[in-house]
Structure 1
Amino acid sequence: VDTLGLLIVLIVHRADVAERQGAQWLLRRAAAKMADFGRLRLFFADQGYGGLAMWEWVKNTFRHLNWRLEIVKKIHKKAFEALPKRWIVERTFGWLNLYRRLSKDYEYSTKSSETMIKVAMIHIMLNKLNKGN
């Protein structure tokens, strides 16, 4: 999801798939769509996707696209503070939780989960466009 809330690439995978493996699948799918979204350059991820191995993988695999991976580190403070760029992801999860089929994991397959997320994001984008008029 970009800063405007536009869904660019989506992957839903089983719970037994490691976060880093899922991230690699997602970035490969994004690379295949580069003709449509040529401006992608910087990807933000939380600490679950971090580590030197993941950073090096992105750097080496997507060198021709000049992609960078930036890990958003948690700030351990007692007061609430929005983490840089993390709010975009959390806001999107909040939007999706407003849809009954996405508020719990009702779907039997990952493909139907992906489809329900796409339908919800289409609805969200249409509402945003309608408010602009």
Structure 2
Amino acid sequence: MDPQSVKSAEGGPQRGFDAGKKVSGRKRFAAVDVEGNLVDVTVTGADVSDNAGSIALLDSIAAQFPSVRAIWCDQGFEKAFTDHAHRLGLQVVVISRRPGSTGFTVLPRRWVVERFFARIARARRLARDYERTITSAVAMMQIAYSRMMLRRLTRTL
């Protein structure tokens, strides 16, 4: 589970400013499985905190997929997120850097969701957020993911 801030076009009611990334637009929260397949996605204004958006995504995942038992996330998620996950009966595994490490290090399982965002960003429509409504922004992400999976399927046949 991870968020991604993207610049948005001028339209749309739910836009915000992500001060951490200095991006005016929207924030996409995606949850993927261990193979990088999309489980669920939520889109909010960029001014929504990572914890608040992830809690909304977590509620959606828990309602749709009761068999999910563990969530992997990075260090940016705070106690409110982990407490909410424990109330839902989910185990939270926080992926953090090793103490004393300097420079770039590949974190285990962190690259899975980042790879998903990179593959989705290949769709030109998702390089920026051009949608006016949140539901159409979510639909565009699901369509782009479906196209990506169909391409993979046709290559194997």
Alignment TM-score, normalising by the size of structure 1 = 0.83
| 1:34-91 deviation line (CA, Å, top 9, x unaligned) | 25xx2x211111222133x32222112x12xxx111111245522x322111100110
Which residue of structure 2 aligns with residue 68 of structure 1? 91
Name the % identity: 31
Report SS of the residue matched to 1:49. coil
Deviation, structure 1 residue 24: 1.0
CA contact (8 A) 1:45 1:72 kept: yes
Residue number in structure 2 paired with 1:114: 138
- Which residue number in structure 2 is paired with residue 44 of structure 1? 72
Name the SS for the 2:152 alignment partner.
helix
Larger relative helix fraction: 1
How far is 1:128 from its partner? 2.0
Q: 1-side partners of 2:149 and 2:118: how far apart?
A: 15
Greater displacement, 104-113 / 93-102: 104-113
8 Å CA contact 1:19–1:49 kept in 2: the answer is yes
**8 Å CA contact retained: 1:50, 1:71:** no
Q: What is residue 77 of structure 1 aligned with on the other side? A: 102
1:92 corresponds in structure 2 to: 116
1:101 and 1:74, CA in 2 relative to 1: closer, same or farther beyond 3 A? farther
8 Å CA contact 2:54–2:81 kept in 1: the answer is: no
Residue of structure 2 in register with 1:33 after alignment: 64
Of the three residues 109, 128, 132, the one matched with 2:152 is: 128
Higher share of residues assigned strand: 2
TM-score, normalisation: structure 2: 0.71
Displacement of 1:107 in angstroms is: 2.0
Deviation above 3 Å: which 4+ runs of structure 1? Answer: none
Q: Secondary structure at the match of 2:92?
A: strand
Where structure 1 has 5 or more consecutive residues not aligned to the other structure, the ranges are: none
Q: What is the Cα-based RMSD across aligned positions, in Å?
A: 1.7
Give the letter for the 2:96 counterpart: K
Structure 2 spans left out of the alignment, 5+ residues: 1-31
Distance 2:106 2:96 in 1: 11
Residue in 2 that maps onto 1:55: 82
Q: Which amino acid aligns with 1:111?
A: T
